[in-house]
Amino acid sequence: MPQETKQRPSDAEEGETAPGVAHENLEGWVPALASEQELVAALEKAFDYRGDVTITRKDGSRVEGYVFDRRVDGKALAQCRVRVFPKDGGAKASVCYADIARLEFTGRDTAAGKSWETWVRKYTEKKKAGETDIRLDPERLD
């Protein structure tokens, strides 16, 4: 005789009620880079950040932009690089970890104040109100 199975909600339905991810508010943060571990940890946060950062090299030159990639090819800082789309629209910049003197989270976090829960709540409200052509547009970022 076949066993009865309980009906489970679909993954999509579970996703509608799943909590979002809490992001740190890093906007304006200037991390201490006293050790190699602190530098690596700060650059990992810069990679996950949704705004621009400013990197000051040890020679005093600076690059401000969005961190889109990092290459950790070995344990030595000289083998690791972070890649940036410059804010001014110039060519992609590649900065060696060993050359970084200062890191600043200078740009506006484009996702600050917005959350998955808010989006789902608005969607659910519209669905409950009987709307069928539900469209939730993102807020303007200016």
In the chain, beta strands by DSSP E: 53-57, 62-72, 80-86, 93-96, 100-104
Three-state SS for 28? coil
Q: What is the signed CA dihedral for 116, 122, 125, 126, rounded to 10 degrees?
A: -120
Q: Where does the pLDDT of residue 138 fall: very low under 50, low under 70, confident under 90, or very high at 90 and above?
A: low
Token code pair at residue 95: 């900065």
Taking the domains of the chain in order of start, what are their residue ranges? 36-104
Question: Mean per-residue pLDDT for 128-138?
Answer: 76
User: Could you give the CA distance from residue 122 to residue 130 in angstroms, rounded to a whole number?
Assistant: 13
Three-state SS for 61? coil
User: Could you give the CA distance from residue 27 to residue 104 in angstroms, rounded to a whole number?
Assistant: 9
Give tens-digit pLDDT for 35-57.
Answer: 899 999 999 999 988 899 999 99
Question: Mean per-residue pLDDT for 107-134?
Answer: 77
Give tens-digit pLDDT for 63-96.
Answer: 999 999 998 877 789 999 999 999 998 899 999 9
Q: Which CATH code fits 36-104?
A: 2.30.30.100
Give tens-digit pLDDT for 103-117.
Answer: 999 988 776 666 666
